[in-house]
Amino acid sequence: MAAGSTGRAVAVVTLVLAALLGSAYALGRSLVPDPPRPHDGVATSVDDAQYADQASESGRSHGDRPAPPPDTPATGQQPDGHRMAEGGDALFGARVDTGSPEVALTFDDGPDPQYTPQVLEVLRQYQVKATFCVVGENARNHPDLIQAIVADGHTLCNHSWNHDFLLGKRSPEVIRADLLRTNEAIRTAAPDSPIGYFRQPGGAWTYPVVQVAEELGMVPLHWTVDPNDWQAPGAATITATVTRDTAAGSIVLLHDAGGNRQDTVDALHLILPDLAGRFRLAALPTAGTT
């Protein structure tokens, strides 16, 4: 009988101790914060997502990937009135408007021997000046077209040597060499022409690429209106987007190279008379730039 009582007592003590240990463990766990959980569908760093889709698109023919909308609340004002995007919207200080009532048309990825002359002819017909963001290897291969752009009074923008979407992720030394090589090709064709702007392929801005461009005397140039004409959606779609979304101060992104740009050329015949009737169209100025 004594032995049975002793066994029951031991069992009770064991259960009590187990309960106390369990309570202590639970209390300790409640005092330790849970590890952070990844954000669903949200990049937590540049390396996580900003360039993941660009790497998959880098084989695409020189088209610019749509970038985050430039007219987000996180914008600042330059002393000259130009709106500059802050780092919070992934533009890192690139210019997103003209800073004046004027509207600027910009053409990327050229020059191209088939489409650039057509774009120049339409611009000439409507007496409109624009800004051409040229790719270095295309400038090297078609110096006559660089000369034609300059002869018609348009301004120039550096668009990297070979449209490298990932240029902004490379070292400052590599970025600088790329931009200088592109400038050299442009100046070989047009020695006295200023190159006032740099546009990062795909709008994939980073602090290093913005800093290097500025150190070389070029303004990082983004855009306000993007009709995604690189996708060749048809002249009517390109026209509708540009005429609907353009406002005073807009920088319009279009393409004269990097694929079949006939839609863009055809759209210009409709875009130019509409915009010219509502705004003053002008090339981005290069005064004070190199």
8 Å CB contact between 131 and 197:
yes
Interval 152-206: pLDDT, tens: 999 999 999 999 999 999 999 999 999 999 999 999 999 999 999 999 999 999 9
Residue 285 has pLDDT above 50, yes or no: yes
Catalytic residue among 62, 159, 163, 255: 255
Given the residues 108, 178, 226, 229, select the one marked as catalytic: 108
What mean pLDDT value characterizes the chain?
79
pLDDT of residue 213: 98
pLDDT digit string (tens) for 62-75?
A: 444 433 333 332 33
Q: Does the model's pTM come out above 0.75? A: no
pLDDT band at 100, cuts 50/70/90? Answer: very high
Read off the pLDDT of residues 254-270 as tens digits, 9 standing for 90 and up. Answer: 999 999 999 999 999 99
List Cβ neighbours of 189 (8 Å cut-off, separation of 6 or more): 139, 143, 144, 146, 147
255 catalytic residue (yes or no): yes
